[in-house]
Amino acid sequence: DKIKSLLIVVESPTKARTIAKMFGIPGKRFVGSYVAYETVIAYDGKIFLATIAPSMGHVLDLVNDDGLHGVSLSGSSVTPVYATLKRCVNCGHQFTEELQACPKCGSIRLRDSRKILEALKKIAREVDEVYIATDPDDEGEKIAHDLYTVLSSVNSRIRRIEFHEITKHAVLKALDNPRDIDLLKVSAQIVRRVDDRLVGFEISKMLQEDLGKRWLGGGRVQTPVLRWVIERYNEYERGRGYLIKTYLPNGLRIDYFLESREDALKLRDEVIKSGVTIRVLETFEKEVNPPPPYTTDTLLTDVVRELRISPTQAMRIAQDLFESGHITYHRTDSTHVSGLGIEIAREYVEGSGLTEIFNPRTWGDEGTHECIRPTKPADSIDEDEFFMSNLTHLHKRVYQMIFRRFIASQLKPSRMLYGRLEAYLGGKRVELELPLKILKEGFTKVYFTRTYEDLAGAEVVRYVPTKVDVIKASKTPLLTSAEIVRMMRERGIGRPSTYAKAIENNLRHGYVILSKKRQYLIPTKTGIEVLKYIQERCGVLTSVEFTRYLESLVEGVRAGRVSLNTALTYLLSEVVVLRTSREVLKIRAEHSEMPVVEDLALQEEDKY
């Protein structure tokens, strides 16, 4: 019993390779063109002859050609119907139909998860036990359940293991703590996927048929995001004017908005001629706490803003860093720091001579996940590892952002001098509150905070601007991806794994575009047309309030308060509302006395 053969199934080849390399130089096993990694895991008198194999993500998905968009209704029972997932190598499109070519681009270069499952079944037959180590969230639990369903036909000894970071310590701990698959988590993910499918397919079908554009699509979460973008754009248009941006030698920029271009140019000339005068009205000391470690939404916010990349790209980079063993699991809304995380911070702090300002914190309450943090006390990715992997300079920068933020969260507050100031630009007055000086270092030793020390101790300072620009602007700025992510978190729609997807779907369908310089989200005519259509026909079902309610339904399923069948029946009833609303609109064109669609949908919502 001391020596066992194991199949450990993970999602990606990168994760499989990372784990295998922790225990020496791994061998490769080929099953046709499929590649798995073989290694020996020896610890505490145990020896595992392990084959670590990737599932390549999801292996099953809802079919399109059975029941209602893949959901079958028989009597009072609602059953999702699944088939193996096919991926087009050429365009990345995924589908479940048995086709010889991609329905989107026509390419015959297809990958069927059936071949992956056959390879996994072959290996599973030969080993003593199978451990499924997919990601530690609802989606990972559903993938684990799908794999269990397929592999249990050839091996009955299948367990679930999970780790929140890919390190040797975490892997060994997981091997010592196998468990059964959590069917409540699986059910919660089924509800999410069925909701995405039913509502998304129904709205997409309506859009494509009624607006005559086959590429249009809709969804429950992406529609509120589109509405926010359009509402902010309308506010932007109503507040159009001109912004005078004045740059000072100390790095400070002062903005002033005017509606008239003539007034803006006049003020610019005054500022260039007379300079900028800043008067220090009062100074006061303030203890500033460090920010908490990153969660998914705060990481996306900072990465998108600082690196000017899309949320989807930012999530892909975080996924790569997790799978290569550099950071903890990146889909989390928790700021909690584990004891291991604190020890990693302690080791770095002591080695960097910062022991005097070390102030360990656990931050949030312990939950399912931990914060996003580094897995070792290294402030940068090792150069040899960097060049030997597929990581880029963007991966390096994101890792450094995560590392600095985490270490800062484990340091003492900083004592700072702040100033309340008034700045005069020509005849215009602007009030400011700025950090002037760091009086006592704390977290600011590793986490940059801009200060304006030339104003500390001064009463009046006059500056000659280095540059003064006048640009077209608005009182209300356009939204950025970072702000959308923050709004989704604050308003309780979406989840860490879908924040980026909701924005990306709107971009992909051509509903919004990104401005090149500042990455502002700007709605297109198509996006405005689509939102108007959706609000007229299914505004209630795609509202923020209703979307938030569906999140609570998923939580009820996960907690065991709502049965899977009840939840799926509820989702099917939504399709009835959508289809009925559509028919009512058609009838209203001929019979003006019919009730309005919004009232009908609200009545249906109350009935549920």
Question: Mind telling me the catalytic residues?
Answer: 329
How far is 439 from 506, CA to CA, in rounded Å?
47
Q: Are strands 521-523 and 467-474 parallel, antiparallel or unpaired?
A: unpaired
Beta bridge partners of 414: 288
Residue among 299, 473, 311, 496 nearest 403 (CA): 299
Strand 110-112 to 86-88 pairing: antiparallel
The closest of 378, 518, 391 to 18, measured between CA atoms, is 391
Q: Could you give the CA distance from residue 475 to residue 553 in angstroms, rounded to a whole number?
A: 39
Task: Report the alpha-carbon distance of residue 15 to residue 22 in Å, rounded.
Answer: 11
Cβ atoms 329, 291 nearer than 8 A: no
Look at residues 419, 429, 422 and name the one whose alpha carbon lies nearest to residue 271: 429
H or E, element range at 136: none
Angle of CA points 317, 502, 236, to nearest 5°: 105
The token pair that represents 168 in the structure block: 């040797």
Continuous segment of H or E residues that includes residue 532: helix 525-538
Q: Do 414 and 443 contact (CB within 8 A), yes or no?
A: yes
Nearest-angstrom CA–CA distance, 124 and 85:
20
CA distances for 465 relative to 32, 228, 327, 460, 468, angstroms: 68, 37, 43, 16, 7
Please give the span between the terminal C-alpha atoms of the chain, in angstroms, as a whole number. 55
